[in-house]
């Protein structure tokens, strides 16, 4: 048998183990794993790791926030993702007040369909206006929205009773709630207090969002979810205090999972002390915290407490970050990470011994795919989509706007040195990145309607 593509001589790394074998690909699928396979095209992976394509389950592409829209659209964002080895992402639908959930989903799908170069799915956001639309949850669930985003902060904030209703409806439909957990009452009180004291600079952003109240919000939503008997996934955990709540709930047998993101694993709040717009750029929520908090997250990572690592990729350009920076609370929140996540977690996580290569693949590929029911993604097995990364563990890269392919005119990782970078990215059997050259066609990405239930 001659396969369309064989990847030869590489070390296959999965969540459950590593071994040397050839990989055979026919059409869009992995069709063989064995020795001495022959292909029409042969990719030599000597010295490289062969991993599943990475899965990023938390991104905001062309997302409107107030008067701004996040900088990467479905084309530039998905292309940058692919350059860094990510082959699937989950973005968000944010319905307008008068729209049905299905109309909103279709609109967002149409936007992605024209542009995305990799496969994708959406979380459905349930804000206050959607509480009157909860009977539509089963309908969009059938259309591929397996997960539903609930905010405990911002204008989209749900109070405890509203959270109760939403969690119950999502749970009854078989969906997975994903939650932005922060204590908004405390945050708004501290923002008001700090502004009244003249504390207007970006350094007051993290100081208005204390870690203990992120932890308290995590505990709060877990207790409501447990009461209505639904699993819950906690987004963008920024501090040890918050992951500790997830750990405690798991120990009590609650089906709770948690993610963190590169900004909390690579950056610290000294960045807010920089002059001018530089201090405003890293504003995101929950905030980037102290070095001690970062070290604590890595310790929890080593202990196996996190289920997934996603990006929360949501950059705004320099001029937008600068426009309203006279008050820290007016700076649009979000940072870019979509391209660097997979290699950077390898570089620091595996390179410095915090996690094994198999845990790296689990956190960035397999576990996110499983959690969100992406049944043909995130693993290397016969029958799975041939979403594959050939990863050179020795390749060095210094991150900067020059070397990354994201649209924002800044990166918080400027100068960060990474060891390990993808050489090939394949999406459903097609080589879309080869030696840092992108070759996929715009719009080739597919909406992933089917999911494991
Ligand atoms: O500041 C952030 N993280 N912006 C993106 C939206 C969110 O809260 O996830
Ligand atoms: Zn959030
Ligand atoms: Zn987000």
Q: Is 127 near ligand 1, meaning CB less than 6 Å away?
A: no
* pLDDT tens across the length of the chain (453 residues): 999 999 999 999 999 999 999 999 999 999 999 999 999 999 999 999 999 999 999 999 999 988 999 999 999 999 999 999 999 999 999 999 999 999 999 999 999 999 999 999 999 999 999 999 999 999 999 999 999 999 999 999 999 999 999 999 999 999 999 999 999 999 999 999 999 999 999 999 999 999 999 999 999 999 999 999 999 999 999 999 999 999 999 999 999 999 999 999 999 999 999 999 999 999 999 999 999 999 999 999 999 999 999 999 999 999 999 999 999 999 999 999 999 999 999 999 999 999 999 999 999 999 999 999 999 999 999 999 999 999 999 999 999 999 999 999 999 999 999 999 999 999 999 999 999 999 999 999 999 999 998
Question: Which numbered atom of ligand 1 lies nearest the CA of 151?
Answer: 8
Q: Is 284 near ligand 1, meaning CB less than 6 Å away?
A: yes
Please tell me the distance from the alpha carbon of residue 423 to that of residue 298, in angstroms, as a whole number. 27
pLDDT of res. 188: 98
pLDDT of res. 21: 98
Ligand in closest contact with the CA of 310: 3
Distance 191 CA to ligand 1 centre (A): 17
Q: Is 10 near ligand 1, meaning CB less than 6 Å away?
A: no
For 154-205, list the strands marked E by DSSP: 176-180
Within a 10 A sphere around the Cβ of 434, how many other Cβ atoms?
A: 15
Strands 308-309 and 256-260: parallel
Please tell me the distance from the alpha carbon of residue 325 to that of residue 281, in angstroms, as a whole number. 10
Distance 135 CA to ligand 1 centre (A): 27
Checking phi first, is residue 365 left (phi over 0); if not, alpha (psi -120 to 50) or beta? alpha
Residue position matching structure tokens 């397996």: 146
Inter-residue contact 406 to 48 (CB < 8 Å):
no
Please tell me the distance from the alpha carbon of residue 73 to that of residue 108, in angstroms, as a whole number. 12
Q: Is 57 near ligand 1, meaning CB less than 6 Å away?
A: no
Task: State in Å, rounded, how far the first CA of the chain is from the last one.
Answer: 35
DSSP code, position 53: P
Inter-residue contact 137 to 148 (CB < 8 Å):
yes
Q: What Å distances lie between residue 357 and 296, 301, 340, 364, CA to CA?
A: 20, 13, 17, 11
pLDDT of res. 333: 97
Q: Is 315 near ligand 1, meaning CB less than 6 Å away?
A: no
């Amino acid at each position: 048998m001659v396969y369309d593509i064989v990847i030869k001589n590489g070390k296959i790394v999965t969540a459950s183990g590593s071994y040397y074998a050839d990989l055979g690909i026919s059409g869009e699928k992995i069709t063989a794993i064995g020795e001495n396979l022959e292909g029409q095209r042969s990719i030599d992976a000597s010295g490289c790791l062969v991993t599943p394509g990475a899965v990023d389950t938390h991104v905001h592409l062309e997302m409107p926030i107030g008067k701004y829209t996040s900088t990467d659209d479905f084309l530039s964002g998905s292309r940058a993702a692919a350059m860094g080895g990510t082959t699937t992402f989950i973005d968000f639908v944010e319905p307008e007040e008068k729209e049905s959930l299905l109309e909103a989903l279709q609109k967002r799908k149409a936007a992605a369909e024209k542009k995305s170069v990799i496969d994708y799915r959406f979380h459905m956001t349930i804000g206050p206006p959607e509480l009157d639309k909860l009977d539509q949850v089963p309908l969009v669930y059938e259309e591929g929205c397996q997960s539903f985003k609930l905010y405990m902060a911002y204008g989209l904030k749900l109070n405890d009773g509203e959270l109760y209703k939403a969690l119950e409806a999502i749970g009854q439909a078989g969906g997975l709630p994903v939650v932005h957990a922060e204590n908004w009452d405390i945050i708004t009180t501290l923002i008001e207090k700090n502004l009244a004291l003249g504390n207007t600079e970006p350094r007051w952003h993290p100081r208005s969002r204390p870690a203990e109240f992120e932890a308290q919000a995590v505990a709060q939503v877990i207790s409501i979810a447990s009461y209505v008997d639904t699993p819950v996934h906690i987004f963008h955990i920024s501090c040890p205090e918050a992951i500790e709540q997830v750990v405690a709930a798991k120990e009590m047998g609650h089906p709770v999972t948690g993610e963190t993101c590169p900004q909390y694993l690579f950056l610290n709040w000294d960045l807010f002390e920089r002059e001018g717009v530089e201090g405003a750029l890293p504003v995101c929520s929950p905030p980037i915290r102290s070095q001690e908090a970062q070290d604590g997250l890595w310790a929890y990572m080593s202990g196996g407490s996190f289920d997934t690592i996603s990006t929360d990729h949501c950059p705004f350009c320099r001029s937008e970050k600068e426009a309203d920076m006279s008050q820290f609370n007016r700076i649009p929140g979000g940072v870019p990470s979509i391209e660097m996540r997979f290699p950077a977690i390898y570089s620091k996580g595996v390179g410095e011994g915090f996690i094994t290569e198999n845990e790296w693949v689990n956190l960035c590929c397999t576990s996110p795919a499983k959690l969100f029911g992406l049944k043909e993604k995130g693993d290397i097995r016969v029958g799975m989509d041939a979403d594959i990364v050939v990863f050179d563990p020795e390749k060095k890269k210094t991150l900067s706007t020059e070397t990354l392919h994201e649209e924002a005119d800044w990166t918080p990782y400027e100068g960060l040195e990474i060891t390990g970078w993808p050489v090939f990215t394949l999406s459903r059997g097609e080589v879309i990145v080869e030696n840092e050259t992108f070759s996929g066609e715009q719009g080739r990405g597919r909406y992933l309607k089917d999911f494991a239930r």
